[in-house]
Amino acid sequence: MLASLHIEGFFHESAKKILEESIVKNIVEAPFVKEMVEVTSNLYRLGWDERNGGNVSYLLDEEVVQEYLDTTNVLRTISMDFDGTALSGKYFIVTGSGKYFKNVIQDPANNLGVIRVSEDGHGVELLWGYTDGGVPTSELPAHLMSHIARLEVDPENRIVMHCHASHLLAMTFTHELTAKAMTRTLWEMCTECMVVFPEGIQVLPWLIPGSNEIGQATAEKMKAARLVLWSFHGVYGAGRTMDETFGLIETAEKAAQIYTYVQAQGGVRQTITDENFIDLAKQFGITPNPEFFEAQVTSI
């Protein structure tokens, strides 16, 4: 009888250990972890996130997180200088502060973290990741502010992505820094641009990165557009999925690259007209921002 109990206890402990190990293995195989690994690898490969430049945050459903983690097991609490009560209880997977995107694919657990915004909104609870004692990106407040702003406009928004897209960054040194001027140029460089971001792109002057000031300014612009250009720094993009958000930045960056070629070839001689844009909008059933047309547009 004693031997039987001992054996049963042994198997119970073995099963528990196997279960715990399977959770550790499964989280790396979770779709949201794989998406973060893939997008950070692509951002690094394209040269948009050198060294530890750039950051990504992904809003997760609690039910999905619970498939891979014990959400009652808080590893540690990390304070933040920002009131995030609007997102209290929300889960995110976020790139870490000072982490190199090129290293995410080899060690996701060290370079990424799954966090939950604390009840009081002044901290986040770490549920997985940052295994070397790290913390979320220093621009976490800017991300959370942008999530709050975008969720007010689109309840399905899940992604906020920041990178140093090369040609967009270069344009901030040579191009007029207004939303209308920047949007018009990008729209005109590639027919698909207005279809992909009909609301246009918003522009901020240079502000200190990682500060609440730039986070608040970005969030305010995010109410009007999913793309916000940080002068002399990079770009912020938001979307419902990782593909949508990456593709949004990718399309704007391609247009900026074409603009660079056009300028090198002697500048614009002919381009897409307002009439062309109106026809395009009708064809694809979109409503572009009328503020960015040269002449007043009454209906599309």
| Annotated binding-site residue? 164 | yes
User: CA-CA-CA-CA torsion for 83, 89, 91, 95, nearest 10 degrees?
Assistant: 30
Of the candidates 35, 139, 188, 253, the residue annotated as catalytic is: 139
Question: Whole-angstrom Cα distance, residue 186 to residue 192?
Answer: 10
Q: What does the block give as tokens for 209?
A: 């990165």
Q: How far apart are the C-alpha atoms of 140 and 159, rounded to whole Å?
A: 13
Is 233 annotated for ligand binding?
yes
Q: Read out DSSP for 6-40?
A: HHHHHHHHHHHHHHHHHHHHHHHHSHHHHHHHHHH
Residue 116 near residue 153 (C-beta atoms within 8 A): no
Tell me if 175 is assigned to a ligand binding site: no
Q: Examine the residue annotation and report whether 294 is marked as an active-site residue of this protein.
A: no
Find the length of the chain.
Answer: 300
Locate 95 and state its tokens. 């790139």
Instruction: Give the residue numbers of the binding site.
Output: 162, 164, 233
Active site residues: 139
Instruction: Give the residue numbers of the binding site for Zn(2+).
Output: 162, 164, 233
